[in-house]
Structure 1
Amino acid sequence: MKTLAEFKESLNLEQPLSGLSVQLKSLWYDGKGDWHEAHAQVDQLTDQQSAWVHAYLHRKEGDTWNADYWYSKAKRTRPDLSLEKEWEQLVKAFL
């Protein structure tokens, strides 16, 4: 899988494709509307890439304080763009 369009197409599947990074797997579950499973994928991880996804998920949840904590762990600041655009940005970054 190399493009955002291919990733979005995979959302029609029942399960994520094998070989996805944990970050992409989290974003896949989020794209399917399963925030809890998306969060479970990255909840215990502390690397910067997972922290970025974790931050996005808490931003989506509406927990700004927690989101900002994870953005700082990811060495990023909360973006001023829609959640949809951030999701796409994340997917592109991890493909």
Structure 2
Amino acid sequence: MKNIAEFKKTLEKVSPDGHLSVQLRALWYDAKGDWGRAHNQVDHLDDLASARIHAYLHRKEGDIWNANYWYAKAGEKLPELSLEQEWEELIKRFL
């Protein structure tokens, strides 16, 4: 998969492609409206990439305190982007 358009095309499928990283798999489930399954992909991981996805998911959930905790764990701050823009930026980052 080379770009965001190809990633978005996979959202027509019932399940994510098997070769997706855990971070992209979490964003895939998020886009499909399954926040819980998205969260479960990264909840138990402690790497920076997973912390960044975890932050986005808690921001989307509306738990800004928890989101800020995870942004800090990822070495970043809450971005001044819409959730949709942040999602797209994360897809681009992890492709």
Tell me the TM-score normalized by structure 2.
0.99
Structure 2 SS opposite 1:11: helix
Are residues 1:52 and 2:52 paired? yes
User: Which letter does structure 2 place at the counterpart of 1:77?
Assistant: K
Aligned pairs, number: 95
Q: What is residue 34 of structure 1 aligned with on the other side?
A: 34
- Per-residue deviation at 1:13? 0.2
User: Which letter does structure 2 place at the counterpart of 1:22?
Assistant: V
| Aligned mates of 2:38, 2:2 — CA distance in 1 | 21
Structure 2 SS opposite 1:51: helix
Over 2 Å off, 4+ runs: none
Structure 2 SS opposite 1:29: helix
Q: What is residue 83 of structure 1 aligned with on the other side?
A: 83
Q: What is residue 69 of structure 2 aligned with on the other side?
A: 69
| Aligned mates of 1:32, 1:7 — CA distance in 2 | 12
* Structure 2 stretches lacking a partner, 5+ long: none
- Per-residue deviation at 1:59? 0.1
Output one character per residue of 1:40-94: Cα deviation in whole Å (capped at 9) or x when no partner: 0000011000000000000000000000000000000000110000000000000
User: Which letter does structure 1 place at the counterpart of 2:3?
Assistant: T
Q: What is residue 92 of structure 2 aligned with on the other side?
A: 92
| Aligned mates of 2:54, 2:25 — CA distance in 1 | 12
Structure 2 SS opposite 1:28: helix
Structure 2 SS opposite 1:17: coil
* Structure 1 stretches lacking a partner, 5+ long: none
Are residues 1:2 and 2:2 paired? yes
